[in-house]
Structure 1
Amino acid sequence: MLSHTYPMVPSLSFSVHIIVLVLACNILAASGNNETDLLALLKFKANINGDPLGVVHSWNSTLNFCHWHGVTCGRRHQRVTVLDLQSLKLSGSISPHVGNLSFLRELNLHNNSFTQAIPPQIGRLHRLQNLFLQNNSFSGEIPPNISGCSNLVTFQVQYNRLEGSIPMELGFLSKIQIIDLRQNNLTGTIPPSMGNLSSLQAIFASDNNLFGSLPHSLGQLMNLTELDLFENGFSGTIPPSIFNLSSIVLFDVGYNHFEGSLPSEIGNTFPNIQILSFSTNNFTGSIPISISNASNIVTLQLARNKLTGKVPSAGNLHKLKGFSVTKNYLGSGEDDDLSFLPSLTNATALVRLGIEENNFGGRLPQQICNFSRNLSEIFFHDNQIYGKIPSGIENLISLKIFQLNGNKLSGNIPSNIGKLRNLRILYLFTNNFSGYIPSSLGNLTELLQFSLRENNLHGNIPSSLGKCQKLLAFELSFNNLSGTIPPQLMSLSSLSILADLSYNHLNGDLPIEVGKLGSLGVLDVSNNMLSGKIPESLGSCNSLEVLHMDGNFFQGPIPSSFESLRGLRVLDLSRNNLSGKIAEFLQDFKLLAKLNLSYNDFEGEVPLNGVFKNASATWIKGNNKLCGGIPEFQLPICTFDHKPKKRMKTIVISIISPLLGVTLVFACFILYRSRKKRRDNNRSSSYENTLLKVSYHSLLRATNEFSSANLIGAGSFGSVYKGMLDEEGRAIPIAVKVFNLQRRGASRSFMAECEALRNIRHRNLVKVLTACSSIDHHGNDFKALVYEFMTNGSLEEWLHPTPTPDEAAKTLNLVQRINIAIDIASAIEYLHLHCETPIIHCDLKPSNILLDDEMIGRVSDFGLAKFFSEETLQNKSSSFGVRGTIGYTPPEYGAGCKISTYGDVYGYGIILLEMFTAKRPTDSIFMEGLNLHNFVKIALPERVADIVDPILLEGRSMTLGNSISNHNHNFSSVQNNIIIECLISIFEIGISCSVELPRERMNINDVVAQLNSTKKKLLKARVH
């Protein structure tokens, strides 16, 4: 019998043991992987050095890491799949251990303050699909091994400080759909390998330093919908293949150096295009007729090129909102140049229309009155347009800017313009308009600036213009206007830039109401027929920098009140009938650079100092009774009458006079003058280098070669040094802000600050004295701003002092704090409501509030300032990248909302709360949802004494100021109650300004009014 051998069957118990062993191994393996993620997160936390909201600080062992804030794990393996820490105000760097989160699919650190380089270990995250690192301060290069993230779909690193070139390895990310590199410091060109990314839908690379030609391979990206290369240095012609990408929706190559002609079939090959911009390049030839076939287009920008010929019809562009062909060579000065304008009536959403600075001729077609009722801005200036403004212009009810200047328009200015109630800018100057100024212009209550100069207008100036209560500047010069100057026009306290009535036939007195123009910078009434004495009230216009009164019939002496006009740079009183002695105080005007007193009837000795030392800056010809002065004036030597009788008469009169009274009055007068002169000299010394053309070398000497010993502050874009500028043997204290041009955005910040400070003037703004744009020792670009030096430093130093053993800590009493709070609010009110274009500061914080020698608050640092206009609202880069400073930046900016005046109000509210609690918004006590706003809100009203800065409650003299410090008795209960009421009121204002929803924040003009009311209440309590 054959024996059979069978395989052995294991027992059931043995099988169970094997299964358990396998499961145990799996659990251990899983546990080990979880431990890897845990350690990676802890290492990530260790690299965070700023966590004001306490989010990462809460990562601890009390919770499984999968439940930590911002951490999401997969259900199956309990591995980290999402790390989302956006908009949490974190700072520090990314730990290289982030590369150990091998299951990570999304890393989102958007809108924080991370610095240093992006770690190359990110390239180990093979499962990563979305990488959001935008709006931080990362530096260094984009890691080439980013190609290791083979599943990456979205790569956003915009608004950082990344340098180097775009790595060609980006072209290996076969699944990538969005690449956003905007506003960095990237150089080089776009690698041809990016043409292999068949899934790519959007490339954003604007605001970098990229250059060279565009690779032809980009024409292979058949799924590309958005290509944004705005503001780089690209050159050459655009590859024709790119214009065949029919999927394109956004195509922006503005502000480069591209050349060649625009493709003739672009309107057909880009059928889906919505935003098309070729602005500020070197394109030539004509605008393709096919552009009218791009019926989806919303924005068409062709400005600042070398385009010629006619503008084709836009009849099919129904969705058009913005159209600009500014500054080309379009038109030929012929009648049919504007034949395209009627076709724009089909664009029912049109908001902005710019055809200025071309060669357009012809008449304005009547159809422009049928343009979109949404039309806000019309720029037709500097062409050869003639004829009249069509009747019916009042139909454009949304119009805010209307510029027709520099043309050949004629006829009357239509009175219906007065129905454009939203109009802010009206420029009709340098035309051939005739007739009267329509009184209906007084209905334009939103008007900020208007200019009618260089026309043929006649008749009286309508008094109704006095109703334009927001007017900042006007020009009526070079017309044939007659009659008197309306007092109502001279009563507009809003005027702060320019009032120009020169070269007309105006007569009568200069109204005494001129004294209400306390903020005005330039007043020109020259070359008229004005008469009478110069009103003393003109001395109240202490912001005046330029005053022209020449070519009139003014008589009498120079008013003594002119001694207050210490800011004057130019004073022209020539060709009048003025008499008496030349006012000696004029020689003390440190800023006065041009003085013309010629052809009057002045007598006596010419002063020797100040502007009178410079014969090329002072004109006194035609005054035959003058003597003395510097030799260059060639005047006779002064002689004085010493006849005995006259001298004896003087002696007798002086003896008979009440000697003691005169002496007492004289002593008081001398004391007053000496104090006032010392105070004015202190104030004016900080301004005295306004007109200096400072060089790099003079600033180098002034700051002892930018010595660290003179360093008084540092910010995002540069450093500030104290200096002593030598001017005619006198040392003038200055503050010099030197921009670090190696840092991305510094040059733009320099230009922004120059632009913001160029035309604004207010007692609560730090005044920029001059700018320096030069080359340093090493041949590098050098940019700096020179400011008046603020002797008392910043508000930050007074709220959070660091006393040294040699000096006591700085302290501010209650009245000082309220005064400074009013100063800041007044500056914001001016910037938001009284500038030609509202200015948003964007970086209000105590270190940007400086204090002068009289402890007056001055707002400084306009490096992030934005001009708030319709164009700002539509500009795609206007809202993103606005960082400000953590703690003072409103929450809506972090969410990507547009900048607005509400943002400044939020920052002011936080400053106000900080001023009276002495707690920074980033104080360590604010965590787990508690912030400065809630800290104060919870305490009101019962526990206000618990949150107020203890210094304000230590004693009466500290609280109310030194004027009552000699009283030793304690507070009365009534005064205590009033002080507490005032503090509650101040805190309520701060809370109202810093609420989360922008439109619920308090109006800044209401802030000023309520703070002034609180101050009066407090001072009244002090007096009683």
Structure 2
Amino acid sequence: MISTDPLGAMSSWNDSSDFCGCFLRELYLSNNSFTREIPPQLGRLHRLERLYLLNNSFTSDIPAELSSCSNLVMFNAANNRLTGEIPREIGSLNNLQNFVVSFNSMRGNIPASFGNMSSLRVLSASNNFLSGKLPATLGQLKNLSILYLPMNGFSGEIPSSIFNLSSLSNVYFGFNQLQGSLPSDMGISLPNLQSFDVALNYLSGTVPVSFSNASNLEQLQLQGNDFRGGMPSLGRSPNLFRLIINNNSLGNAGGEDDLSFISSLSNATNFQALIMDHNNFGGRLPVDIGNLSALQILYISENKLSGELPLEIQNLNNLQRLVAFDNGFSGTIPSTIGKLQNLEELDLSNNSFTGNVPSSIGNLTELLELKLARNNLQGEIPSRIGNCTKLITLDLSRNNFSGLIPTQVMSLASLSVFLNLSHNDLTGSIPVEVGNLQNMGGLDLSHNGLSGSIPSSLGSCVRLESVNLQGNQLQGAIPSSLRSLRGIQRLDISSNNLSGQIPEFFEGMNLLQILNLSHNSFEGELSVNGVLRNDSVVSVIGNSKLCGGVAEFNLPPCSFSRQIMGSCLLIFWIKRRGKQDRVTADDLQVKLSYQRLHKATDGFSTANLVGVGSFGSVYKGVLDDKNGATIAVKVFNLERRGASKSFKAECEALKNIRHRNLVRIVTVCSSVDYRGNDFKALVYEFLANGSLEEWLHPVRSIVQRTGHLPRSLDFLQRLNVAIDVASALDYLQHQCQTPIVHCDLKPSNVLLDDDMTGHVGDFGLARFLSSLDKRSFEGRTSSVGVRGTVGYAPPEYGMGNLVSIQGDVYSYGILLLEMFTGRRPTDESLGAGLNLHNFVQFALLEKSAAKVVDQALLTSHASTSSSEYIPKSEKSEELLISIFEVGLACSSDIPQERLGIREAALKLVSVRNKLVGSALPEGESAKAGPCM
């Protein structure tokens, strides 16, 4: 066996080499950095039995000369950059047992000659660009056990001959374009079948009844096709642990046997996941559901189920997620639901539940999301919901709840995504405890009967992006404390009895997309500055005492005395703004000339250089206006290939996106310099604390900036920044009109402001996702040449031209691991053959997470003077493991197995809640970073 580069160097393998490996039986070249083609000279190793080339960057084709290695038993070239077609000559290798080329960029089809490899047991070619029809000759492989071909472009029908291979145990055809139906006898003809996956194809017909004979079946995945009719009994599959059949047309909308297959699952004692949402199943949920004691995930939403939830559901002690929205369930929510102590998500929205919410709901202390919207629930909101101290989302909207809003609910500091109590009959005032929701992203109390004033404590909820108080009976003035809501995007306080003047601090809220002040009793002059001049954002109709404003609002002019007073106030505001040294998007509404930028940066002096990237340099500048605003100027080196394209990409990506965790662009400059050369630059808000890279791996630049020895981010700060970045990615992936892939997420592209809040920047490689058929792999689009940065780019980017939101999730996972290990993904200290993912994974397997944590977290050089957020003892290990598990789940090699960015953020918020809750003395609160 040779596990390093034979003959000294791969580059020496040429036609003139004196090749002396003729007796070599095993050649192991995995986990290196080979970037050339696979040498055809390997075909001279006539006695070679095992050839391992995985996890490199081999390019070009698989050499046909390998067919001369007649003794070859194993060929594994997974996770490279192989292109071209699979050579038909490979089919002559009669002794070959394993052929693995997954995660490459190979094209063409599977050669029909593969049917001649009588010894073949494993054929794995997933995540390529293979296409065409599957050859019927695969049915000649009588020893084939694993057929792994997902994530390609195969079309046509699955050859019937494949279903006669009694040796098959694992069949994966998911994420292709296969058509036709499954043979009715496949459950009999494949007696050893353990895993069968045809997800996201174009298959139709019925699910074969013969599956009921598949006694070895462990998982069955049929989702995303057009299967119809009923599901067969699976009572003879005692090892079944996962059944995923969502997004089909299964069921008969209430047929007698629609859900009888659930009863048959009682024999599967380790059954963990039933995902059957978005089908046509009807009827009642069988009481036998209570026999599935190992069940963890139950997704039954978007069907036509009816009747009451069976009381036997209380027996599902391991259940973590119960999602049943968009059905016809009725009756009351059983009080026994409080026995599901491991439940993390409960969504019963859009059904016909009636009666009160049982107080036992407060027993669900692990609950993260509770959604009961769009039912006929009534009575008071149970105060015991306040016991659910991990709750991050609460939606009770569009019911018939009455009475006061419980102060216990408003005291849930964990609520960080959304609190929606709208469209009910709630009365009384908004509790002042609303100020406890400091991490809340959205608050909707609209269309109730709430009275009193808007509590000034609402201004403490500094992370709010959306507030809706429309359609109540609120009175009084808008509290000045709302000026603290700098990240607010939507504020609707219309149709109330509010009065007083419209505060001028709205002018500077440049993230506002909707400001609805209509149908109140506001008076005085409306400002003509900032956001308040934009009639596409602001609505003020139905306020008869307002005057002034821009012409588009059609308000009457103000009297002379009011105009004088308004001018005085404006002058005072400008003078006050003059004391600031930080620029916002409202400070600069026009393009800056090359001359002004040249002067602001002292001629783009190296003394003002704060960063250098692939396509240009970033300079700190101070404008020569009365404010002396500080800016960051990114100057593109147009002599670099791709720089002009990067400039356009970044402009396109940034012109329509606004989020508190994205670096804010101020303006652009496209001009010529003093020599007549083209000049292109982007002007950003200057963020004083530099990049995350500088804090994780301190260098001289921090000494120059701060004047003292480098410091490190403490545990909470790192966690906050990680949540900030996740929040930005969630916005780009799920909240933009067209999803945006950043393509180059890494610490140097995460910048920190005065409050150590993280902002994602550098969109020079960003790509907009094309609109694709929903059956296709999510986010799949061609983007030639995009590779990202070594170590952070996902493996599929190196194997082809696949750009996806899952790619950014991979980069985020690596970033998260780096933040808490202090090691770069290319760090040589990881050890031979290890990447950062495996390095952390092995540590968790050995239960030694503390050994890989960044030791700077345990020193006294943290950037805060206190050490209260450095977790200790058992708590340390628990929190570290939780964070590392998120990083590992995000950085899986297989895109479809990666954790969603929103779920990753929610898990990190949960970790932060545990950390803050355990570290603070009673009655105190900690500054926490932004969340979803």
Extract unaligned runs of 5+ from structure 1: 1-33, 48-92, 651-665, 690-708, 725-729, 738-749, 771-785, 865-874, 876-882, 890-898, 934-946, 954-958, 964-977, 1017-1024
TM-score, length-scaled by structure 2: 0.71
Partner of 1:782: none
Q: 1:674 aligns with which of 577, 586, 611?
A: 577
Q: Residues 853-932 of structure 1 correspond to what in structure 2 (within 5 A)?
A: 907-911=818-822, 921-922=827-828
Partner of 1:564: 484
* 1:402 CA drift (Å): 0.5
CA distance in 2, matches of 1:94, 1:731: 58
Please tell me the residue identity of whatever aligns with 2:691.
S
1:852 paired with 2:753, answer: yes
Q: 1:353 aligns with which of 274, 283, 298?
A: 274
Q: Residues 280-679 of structure 1 correspond to what in structure 2 (within 5 A)?
A: 280-336=200-256, 337-371=258-292, 373-640=293-560, 673-674=576-577, 679=582
CA distance in 1, matches of 2:684, 2:264: 51
Please tell me the residue identity of whatever aligns with 1:364.
L
CA distance in 1, matches of 2:664, 2:185: 51
* 1:674 CA drift (Å): 3.2
Task: Tell me if the contact between 1:824 and 1:857 (Cα under 8 Å) persists in the aligned partners.
Answer: no
* 1:150 CA drift (Å): 1.9
* 1:243 CA drift (Å): 0.8
Coordinate RMSD, CA, aligned: 5.4
Change beyond 3 A, Cα 1:634–1:900: closer
CA distance in 1, matches of 2:80, 2:145: 24
Partner of 1:44: 9
* Partner secondary structure for residue 586 of structure 1: helix
* Partner secondary structure for residue 392 of structure 1: helix
Change beyond 3 A, Cα 1:992–1:321: closer
CA distance in 1, matches of 2:619, 2:61: 37
Deviations 1:115-142 (A, max 9, x none): 3322222222222211122223322222
Task: Tell me if the contact between 1:608 and 1:629 (Cα under 8 Å) persists in the aligned partners.
Answer: yes
Change beyond 3 A, Cα 1:169–1:367: same
Task: Tell me if the contact between 2:585 and 2:665 (Cα under 8 Å) persists in the aligned partners.
Answer: no
Change beyond 3 A, Cα 1:203–1:110: same
Deviations 1:981-1020 (A, max 9, x none): 99x999999999999x989x9x97698899999xx9xxxx
Which one has a bigger Cα radius of gyration?
A: 1
* Partner secondary structure for residue 362 of structure 1: strand
Task: Tell me if the contact between 1:99 and 1:125 (Cα under 8 Å) persists in the aligned partners.
Answer: no
Q: Residues 824-835 of structure 1 correspond to what in structure 2 (within 5 A)?
A: 824-828=718-722
Deviates more, 1:463-472 or 1:383-392: 463-472
Please tell me the residue identity of whatever aligns with 1:130.
R
CA distance in 1, matches of 2:365, 2:14: 54
* Partner secondary structure for residue 304 of structure 2: coil
Q: 2:711 aligns with which of 796, 810, 817?
A: 817
Please tell me the residue identity of whatever aligns with 1:637.
P
CA distance in 2, matches of 1:429, 1:992: 33
Q: 2:691 aligns with which of 776, 788, 794?
A: 794
* Partner secondary structure for residue 343 of structure 1: helix
* 1:455 CA drift (Å): 0.2
* 1:571 CA drift (Å): 0.9
CA distance in 2, matches of 1:98, 1:251: 44
Identity %: 42
* Partner secondary structure for residue 554 of structure 1: strand
* Partner secondary structure for residue 43 of structure 2: helix
Change beyond 3 A, Cα 1:960–1:618: closer
Partner of 2:107: 187
Please tell me the residue identity of whatever aligns with 1:43.
G
Deviations 1:545-590 (A, max 9, x none): 1110010011111110111112111111101010000111112211
Change beyond 3 A, Cα 1:168–1:713: farther
Task: Tell me if the contact between 1:568 and 1:591 (Cα under 8 Å) persists in the aligned partners.
Answer: yes
Task: Tell me if the contact between 2:237 and 2:268 (Cα under 8 Å) persists in the aligned partners.
Answer: yes
CA distance in 2, matches of 1:736, 1:543: 32
CA distance in 2, matches of 1:861, 1:437: 48
* 1:432 CA drift (Å): 0.2
Task: Tell me if the contact between 2:496 and 2:519 (Cα under 8 Å) persists in the aligned partners.
Answer: yes
CA distance in 2, matches of 1:901, 1:482: 44
Partner of 2:63: 143
Extract unaligned runs of 5+ from structure 2: 591-608, 621-628, 637-648, 667-682, 731-741, 767-776, 778-787, 795-809, 841-854, 888-907, 925-932
Task: Tell me if the contact between 2:703 and 2:710 (Cα under 8 Å) persists in the aligned partners.
Answer: no
Partner of 2:34: 114
* Partner secondary structure for residue 385 of structure 1: strand
Q: 1:240 aligns with which of 160, 166, 184?
A: 160
* Partner secondary structure for residue 235 of structure 1: strand
* 1:712 CA drift (Å): 4.9
Change beyond 3 A, Cα 1:553–1:285: same
CA distance in 2, matches of 1:820, 1:197: 58
CA distance in 2, matches of 1:905, 1:319: 36
Change beyond 3 A, Cα 1:308–1:988: closer
Task: Tell me if the contact between 1:99 and 1:122 (Cα under 8 Å) persists in the aligned partners.
Answer: no
CA distance in 1, matches of 2:385, 2:74: 56
Change beyond 3 A, Cα 1:364–1:458: same
* Partner secondary structure for residue 128 of structure 1: coil
* 1:100 CA drift (Å): 3.7
* 1:612 CA drift (Å): 2.8
Q: Residues 752-831 of structure 1 correspond to what in structure 2 (within 5 A)?
A: 793-797=690-694, 810=704, 817-819=711-713, 822-828=716-722
Partner of 1:231: 151
Please tell me the residue identity of whatever aligns with 1:447.
L
Partner of 1:157: 77
* 1:616 CA drift (Å): 3.3
* Partner secondary structure for residue 232 of structure 2: coil
CA distance in 2, matches of 1:854, 1:145: 61
Q: Which has the higher contact order (CA 8 A, sep 6+)?
A: 2
Deviations 1:799-851 (A, max 9, x none): 77898xxx997455678623466422434478999x99xxxx99997546533
Change beyond 3 A, Cα 1:986–1:928: farther
Deviations 1:629-676 (A, max 9, x none): 122222211115599xxx9xx9xxxxxxxxxxxxxxx9xx98995378
CA distance in 1, matches of 2:533, 2:53: 61
* 1:618 CA drift (Å): 2.0
Task: Tell me if the contact between 1:844 and 1:907 (Cα under 8 Å) persists in the aligned partners.
Answer: no
Task: Tell me if the contact between 1:132 and 1:157 (Cα under 8 Å) persists in the aligned partners.
Answer: yes
Please tell me the residue identity of whatever aligns with 2:402.
S
* 1:171 CA drift (Å): 1.0
Deviations 1:315-350 (A, max 9, x none): 212111111221111122124222222111122111
Task: Tell me if the contact between 1:905 and 1:994 (Cα under 8 Å) persists in the aligned partners.
Answer: no
Aligned length: 769
Task: Tell me if the contact between 1:824 and 1:858 (Cα under 8 Å) persists in the aligned partners.
Answer: no
* Partner secondary structure for residue 416 of structure 1: helix
* Partner secondary structure for residue 311 of structure 2: coil
* Partner secondary structure for residue 284 of structure 2: coil
Q: 1:264 aligns with which of 179, 184, 194?
A: 184
